[in-house]
């Protein structure tokens, strides 16, 4: 009995990982080739890699390898860690270790976990957002925005815990209360904060119909929707017996004759002022209550539309009708003018509000039955005086002209997008490089004085004071303008600022003169593919696009979209088909799977699971299946490397199949269809096995069999992107090729071999030759196919028309006879 080889992943994987590291196999080399920058969203330093990380990185890694083997100068960095932020601080508070120690310990653990994947990262390209050498440039970025008037301080409605005396992040508001004080309701309070004026870029951030870059349509639509550009008009309503005016924003001036009331947001400056004395108490109470609600709750569709009457009336500027003024929290303060005209006939929320408050409803647009529900579509105007009979569109134009012409208001464009609040009263982040001087006011830290280092000795337990304020020695500083005693800003930046520009740093992570080398950065951008999660469409990627556009406008970057292609990954689910979670007990630990099956099997499984953007459930048996497949490849190459294809026809068949496989795998990989590429490689392996199965294994051969050698080498190359360790071992130690397979050239295919050969088959009807057909040689033995073609042939069909074919004689590949009688 011949001994069959088995593939010992443990030994082989460690060995090659060490060798790749030592030889810097994946370093950016081949400087003349096309620059090809691939990136996966950087990881948060949570402490351990879970299956989701493996899933997110596996396919991009295979793609990077494919591109590298295809002759591109690939930059594929991973050593990116989003290292600042609240979780580090929370863990530190809970466990009593310094956030910095916690973070850097995690980075170390994650690095070694990444290494077990055998990824093709260039480890010299590392970016850690909490490194002083990194965040000095985050501070630089802040200063640039500040100089341009794009960073400014303003009062922002924020979640406020009266016990902590601090602003809370949304995720720290649990059931309306503070996470540390479950008895204390979080209230909305106006707190001065730093903002980035992303709304000034709203128009530039809106995706055109046909953009030059290739981002998923859903992503572009989601961003456009989030930006929410809305064209309408602001209209002035005079308040009766009061000098005040209420400005409302509407997109439907065509409905103005249906305005039955006005509603102000509780935060509106006139809210309390307008309230008549007998209503003041109630209005005050309502305003206080609404401060306890988060905006999200206020927007909920199903909620009852509560509100209070102020006792005041306003005058419709077109009809002079007298209408009541209410305060209600479904009107938001940050949008439009914070006041609306209520048109219950044609707006759902207004309709509900009218019903709850017993207000009249008037139809001013034809269509629907406004007694039953609001009719929100367009139509023709009724009950609208001079404007009756116009279409909504015509009326919008005419009424807007009238309003503008009579100084009753002005057209206005509103965006749902808000400016980006970037200050956090937290410790673990990049300090905001601002100094407050009694003499000079707000003074930016001069660029030459950067970085403003984060002090290490602070009290970061939430006490009400921002933690940085407890580092008194650090806070005290001389004013850079007048030299007198001054104080530093004690807030830190949102971590989304850190990650809004990190991709610019990778090409030269050690660059000292700036955040990136302005002269060369353009060569690497826009990056070819940015892989990441769909959950980052409204946060991270929008911020990154914004910062790119700002830096482009300031002349630092020669491009204004940073990623040519964006691809999303799906989610890897637990074996039960549900999201992996500790509470469900369905978490699959990648470390265990790797120990058991090997990194290659796990990688191949992940890539084979289905389309990368879909994901799927973890299936142990299927992982075992991929492990068996790898063993099959291993045995094929090890035990049959000296096989000889004796039959010329077999050799030809293998050659043709090989070229076809190369063509299709290449095309699939170009389209990032990893699973179908693997399926084709599997078919190729099956064919090779078919050949060896028919012949007993021979003793060592004397002559080389060029086709067989070529087939095994090709198989190894095609599999290399997916199973890097196994293929390296085969390439170097079995096929005796030069290290490394990952630097070898991607196989090519010859077009002329892809053309299938054809054979001509004579067709008889009742034993007499009546015609002939040509079919591809691999179809020539299929009776069904040949018969179908024969009957369809026009020479043959006239001999059988009106008759019934009763019998068929078929000599595969040679002759067909259709018998009609």
CB of 487 to Zn ion, least distance (A): 11
Name the one range near Zn ion by CB under 5 A: 42-50, 271-279, 480-488, 810-818.
480-488
The CA-based diameter of the chain, rounded to the nearest angstrom, is 115
Instruction: Say if residue 167 is exposed, middle or buried (CB neighbours under 10 Å; 0-12, 13-18, 19+).
Output: buried
436 binds, among ligand ANZ, Zn ion, none (CB under 5 to 8 A by kind): none
How many residues make contact with Zn ion (CB under 5 A)?
Answer: 12
Q: For the chain, first and last CA: distance in Å?
A: 59
Name the one range near Zn ion by CB under 5 A: 25-33, 48-56, 175-183, 506-514.
175-183
State which residue, 185 or 533, has the beta carbon closest to Zn ion.
Answer: 185
CB of 300 to ligand ANZ, least distance (A): 13
Residue from 88, 314, 341, 551 binding ligand ANZ (CB under 6 A): 341
343 binds, among Zn ion, ligand ANZ, none (CB under 5 to 8 A by kind): ligand ANZ
Fill in the per-residue mask, 31 to 60: x = in contact with Zn ion (CB under 5 A), - = not in contact.
Answer: ------------------------------
230 binds, among Zn ion, ligand ANZ, none (CB under 5 to 8 A by kind): ligand ANZ
Q: Does 479 bind Zn ion (CB under 5 A)?
A: yes
Q: Is the peptide bond prior to 5 cis by the omega test (within 30 degrees of 0)? A: no
Query: β-pairing, 261-264 with 187-196?
Result: unpaired
Name the one range near ligand ANZ by CB under 6 A: 123-131, 245-253, 450-458, 650-658.
245-253
State which residue, 53 or 268, has the beta carbon closest to ligand ANZ.
Answer: 268
Q: Does 816 bind ligand ANZ (CB under 6 A)?
A: no
Q: Does 711 bind ligand ANZ (CB under 6 A)?
A: no
Rounded CA-CA distance 741/726 in Å is 10
Q: Does 463 bind Zn ion (CB under 5 A)?
A: no
CB of 310 to ligand ANZ, least distance (A): 17
161 binds, among Zn ion, ligand ANZ, none (CB under 5 to 8 A by kind): Zn ion
Q: Does 383 bind ligand ANZ (CB under 6 A)?
A: no
Residue from 74, 308, 364, 437 binding Zn ion (CB under 5 A): 437
Name the one range near Zn ion by CB under 5 A: 479-487, 502-510, 597-605, 738-746.
479-487
Q: Supply 376's token pair.
A: 């929100």
180 binds, among ligand ANZ, Zn ion, none (CB under 5 to 8 A by kind): Zn ion
Q: Does 250 bind ligand ANZ (CB under 6 A)?
A: yes
Non-local CB neighbours of 146 within 8 Å, separated by 6+ positions: 152, 434, 444
| Helix (H/G/I), strand (E/B), else coil: 249 | strand
Q: Which of 769, 706, 787, 719 is nearest to 747 (CA)?
A: 719
Fill in the per-residue mask, 627 to 666: x = in contact with Zn ion (CB under 5 A), - = not in contact.
Answer: ----------------------------------------
Question: Is residue 146 a contact partner of residue 196, using CB atoms and an 8 Å limit?
Answer: no
Residues in 651-690 at the binding interface with ligand ANZ, rule: CB under 6 A: none
Residue from 14, 153, 200, 481 binding Zn ion (CB under 5 A): 481
The DSSP code for 732 is: I
73 binds, among ligand ANZ, Zn ion, none (CB under 5 to 8 A by kind): none
Question: Is residue 499 a contact partner of residue 42, using CB atoms and an 8 Å limit?
Answer: yes
State which residue, 335 or 749, has the beta carbon closest to ligand ANZ.
Answer: 335
Q: Does 230 bind ligand ANZ (CB under 6 A)?
A: yes
Q: Is the peptide bond prior to 308 cis by the omega test (within 30 degrees of 0)? A: no
Residue from 49, 164, 477, 761 binding Zn ion (CB under 5 A): 164
| Helix (H/G/I), strand (E/B), else coil: 815 | strand
Residue from 298, 346, 362, 713 binding ligand ANZ (CB under 6 A): 346
State which residue, 19 or 180, has the beta carbon closest to Zn ion.
Answer: 180
Q: Which of 724, 642, 636, 736 is nearest to 687 (CA)?
A: 636
Residue from 118, 307, 336, 429 binding ligand ANZ (CB under 6 A): 336
Q: What is the DSSP string of 495-530?
A: HHHHTTSGGGTTTSTT-SSSSS-HHHHHHH-SEEEE
332 binds, among Zn ion, ligand ANZ, none (CB under 5 to 8 A by kind): ligand ANZ
Residues in 59-78 at the binding interface with ligand ANZ, rule: CB under 6 A: none
Q: Does 442 bind Zn ion (CB under 5 A)?
A: no
479 binds, among ligand ANZ, Zn ion, none (CB under 5 to 8 A by kind): Zn ion
255 binds, among Zn ion, ligand ANZ, none (CB under 5 to 8 A by kind): ligand ANZ
State which residue, 482 or 792, has the beta carbon closest to Zn ion.
Answer: 482
Q: Does 251 bind ligand ANZ (CB under 6 A)?
A: yes
Question: Is residue 592 a contact partner of residue 556, using CB atoms and an 8 Å limit?
Answer: no
| Helix (H/G/I), strand (E/B), else coil: 83 | coil
Rounded CA-CA distance 560/293 in Å is 39
Q: Does 439 bind Zn ion (CB under 5 A)?
A: yes
The DSSP code for 733 is: I
Rounded CA-CA distance 232/412 in Å is 5
Question: Is residue 193 a contact partner of residue 508, using CB atoms and an 8 Å limit?
Answer: no
Rounded CA-CA distance 125/114 in Å is 14
Question: Is residue 222 a contact partner of residue 417, using CB atoms and an 8 Å limit?
Answer: no
Q: Does 319 bind ligand ANZ (CB under 6 A)?
A: no
Residue 69: enclosing H or E segment and its boundaries? helix 51-69
CB of 363 to ligand ANZ, least distance (A): 11
Rounded CA-CA distance 496/541 in Å is 10
State which residue, 446 or 577, has the beta carbon closest to Zn ion.
Answer: 446
Name the one range near ligand ANZ by CB under 6 A: 145-153, 327-335, 602-610, 674-682.
327-335
Q: What is the DSSP string of 385-397?
A: GGGTT-BHHHHHH
Q: What is the DSSP string of 421-439?
A: E-EES-SSSPBP-EEEETT
Question: Is residue 503 a contact partner of residue 545, using CB atoms and an 8 Å limit?
Answer: no
Where does 91-228 show beta strands of DSSP type E? 127-128, 151-161, 166-168, 173-174, 177-178, 187-196
Q: Which of 64, 48, 56, 88 is nearest to 498 (CA)?
A: 88
Residue from 111, 180, 564, 743 binding Zn ion (CB under 5 A): 180
Which bin fits 228, alpha (ψ -120 to 50), beta or left (φ > 0)? left
Q: Does 174 bind Zn ion (CB under 5 A)?
A: no
163 binds, among ligand ANZ, Zn ion, none (CB under 5 to 8 A by kind): Zn ion
Name the one range near ligand ANZ by CB under 6 A: 235-243, 248-256, 711-719, 797-805.
248-256
Q: Cβ atoms within 10 A of the Cβ of 597, count?
A: 20
450 binds, among ligand ANZ, Zn ion, none (CB under 5 to 8 A by kind): none
Residue 494 exposure: Cα atoms within 13 Å on the Cβ side? 18
CB of 357 to ligand ANZ, least distance (A): 17
CB of 419 to ligand ANZ, least distance (A): 16
State which residue, 45 or 363, has the beta carbon closest to ligand ANZ.
Answer: 363
State which residue, 260 or 711, has the beta carbon closest to ligand ANZ.
Answer: 260
Percent helix, percent strand, percent coil in the chain, to nearest 5 = 40, 20, 40
Q: Which of 419, 421, 435 is nearest to 493 (CA)?
A: 421
CB of 633 to ligand ANZ, least distance (A): 57
Residue from 414, 425, 492, 714 binding ligand ANZ (CB under 6 A): 414
Q: Supply 232's token pair.
A: 């309408």
Instruction: Compute the radius of gyration of the chain from its Cα atoms.
Output: 35
Angle of helix 540-553 relative to helix 217-227, nearest 10 degrees, comes to 80
Residues engaged in binding ligand ANZ (CB under 6 A): 230, 249-252, 255, 331-332, 335-336, 338, 340-341, 343, 346-347, 414
Residues engaged in binding Zn ion (CB under 5 A): 161, 163-164, 178, 180-181, 437, 439-440, 479, 481-482
């Amino acid at each position: 009995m011949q001994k069959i080889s088995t593939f010992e992943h443990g030994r082989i994987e460690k060995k090659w990982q060490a060798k790749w590291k030592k030889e810097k196999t994946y370093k950016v080399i081949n400087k003349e080739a096309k620059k090809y920058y691939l990136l996966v969203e950087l990881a948060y330093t949570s402490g351990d890699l879970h299956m989701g990380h493996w899933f997110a990185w596996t396919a991009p890694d295979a793609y990077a390898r494919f591109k590298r083997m295809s002759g591109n100068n690939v930059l594929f960095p991973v050593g990116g860690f989003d290292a600042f932020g609240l979780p580090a601080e929370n863990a530190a508070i809970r466990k009593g270790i310094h956030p910095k120690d916690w973070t850097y310990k995690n980075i170390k653990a994650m690095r070694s976990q990444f290494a077990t994947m055998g990824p093709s990262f260039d480890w010299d390209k590392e970016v850690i957002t909490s490194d002083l050498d990194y965040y000095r440039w985050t501070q630089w970025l802040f200063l640039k925005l500040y100089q341009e008037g794009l960073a400014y301080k303003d009062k922002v409605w924020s979640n406020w815990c009266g016990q902590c005396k601090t602003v809370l992040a949304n995720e720290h508001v649990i059931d309306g209360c503070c996470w540390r004080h479950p008895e204390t309701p979080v209230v909305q309070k106006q707190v001065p904060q730093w903002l980035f004026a992303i709304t000034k870029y709203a128009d530039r951030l809106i995706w055109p119909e046909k953009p030059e870059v290739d981002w998923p349509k859903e992503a572009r639509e989601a961003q456009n929707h989030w930006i929410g550009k809305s064209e309408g008009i602001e209209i002035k309503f005079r308040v009766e017996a009061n000098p005040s005016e209420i400005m409302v924003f509407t997109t439907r001036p065509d409905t103005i004759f249906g305005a039955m009331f006005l509603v102000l947001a509780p935060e509106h400056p006139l809210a309390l002022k307008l309230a008549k004395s007998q209503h003041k108490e109630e209005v005050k109470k309502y305003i206080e209550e609404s401060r306890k609600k988060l905006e999200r709750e206020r927007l909920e569709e199903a909620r009852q539309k509560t509100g209070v009457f102020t006792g005041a009336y306003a005058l419709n500027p077109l009809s002079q009708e007298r209408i009541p003024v209410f305060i209600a929290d479904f009107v938001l303060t940050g949008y439009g003018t914070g006041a609306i005209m209520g048109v219950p006939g044609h707006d759902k929320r207004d309709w509900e509000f009218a019903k709850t408050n017993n207000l009249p409803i008037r139809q001013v647009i034809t269509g629907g039955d406004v007694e039953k529900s609001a009719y929100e579509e367009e139509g023709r105007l009724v009950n609208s005086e001079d404007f009756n009979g116009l279409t909504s569109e015509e009326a919008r134009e005419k009424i807007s002209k009238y309003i503008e012409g009579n100084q009753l208001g002005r057209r206005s464009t509103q965006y749902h997008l808000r400016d980006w609040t970037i200050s956090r009263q937290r410790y673990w982040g990049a300090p905001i490089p601002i100094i407050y001087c009694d003499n000079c006011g707000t003074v930016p830290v001069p660029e030459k004085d950067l970085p403003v280092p984060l002090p290490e000795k602070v009290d970061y337990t939430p006490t009400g004071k921002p933690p940085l304020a407890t580092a008194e020695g650090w806070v005290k500083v001389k004013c850079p303008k007048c030299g007198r005693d001054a104080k530093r800003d004690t807030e830190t930046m949102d971590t989304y600022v850190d990650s809004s520009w990190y991709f610019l740093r990778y090409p030269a992570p050690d660059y000292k003169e700036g955040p990136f080398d302005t002269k060369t950065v353009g060569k690497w951008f826009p990056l070819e593919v940015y892989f990441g999660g769909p959950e980052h469409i409204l946060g991270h990627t929008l911020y990154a696009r914004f910062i790119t556009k700002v830096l482009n406008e300031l002349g630092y970057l020669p491009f204004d979209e940073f990623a040519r292609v964006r691809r999303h990954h799906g989610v890897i689910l637990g074996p039960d088909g549900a999201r992996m979670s500790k509470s469900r007990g369905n978490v699959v630990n990648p470390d265990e799977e790797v120990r058991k099956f090997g990194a290659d099997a796990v990688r191949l499984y992940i890539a084979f699971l289905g389309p990368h953007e879909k994901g799927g459930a973890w299936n142990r048996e299927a992982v075992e299946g991929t492990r068996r497949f790898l063993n099959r490849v291993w045995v094929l190459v090890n035990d049959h490397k000296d096989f000889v294809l004796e039959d010329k026809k077999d050799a030809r068949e293998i050659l043709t199949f090989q070229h076809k496989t190369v063509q299709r795998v290449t095309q699939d990989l170009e389209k990032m269809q990893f699973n179908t590429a693997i399926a084709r490689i599997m078919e190729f392996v099956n064919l090779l096995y078919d050949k060896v199965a028919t012949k007993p294994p021979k003793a060592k051969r004397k002559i080389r069999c060029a086709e067989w050698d070529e087939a095994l080498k090709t198989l190894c190359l095609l599999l290399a992107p997916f199973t890097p360790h196994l293929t390296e071992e085969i390439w170097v130690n079995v096929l005796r090729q030069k290290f490394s397979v990952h630097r070898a050239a991607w196989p090519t295919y010859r077009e002329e071999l892809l053309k299938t050969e054809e054979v001509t088959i004579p067709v008889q009807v009742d034993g007499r030759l009546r015609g002939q057909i040509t079919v591809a040689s691999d179809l020539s033995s299929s009776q069904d196919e040949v018969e179908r073609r024969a009957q369809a042939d026009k020479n043959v069909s006239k001999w059988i028309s009106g008759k019934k074919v009763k019998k068929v004689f078929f000599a595969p590949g040679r002759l067909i006879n259709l018998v009609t009688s």
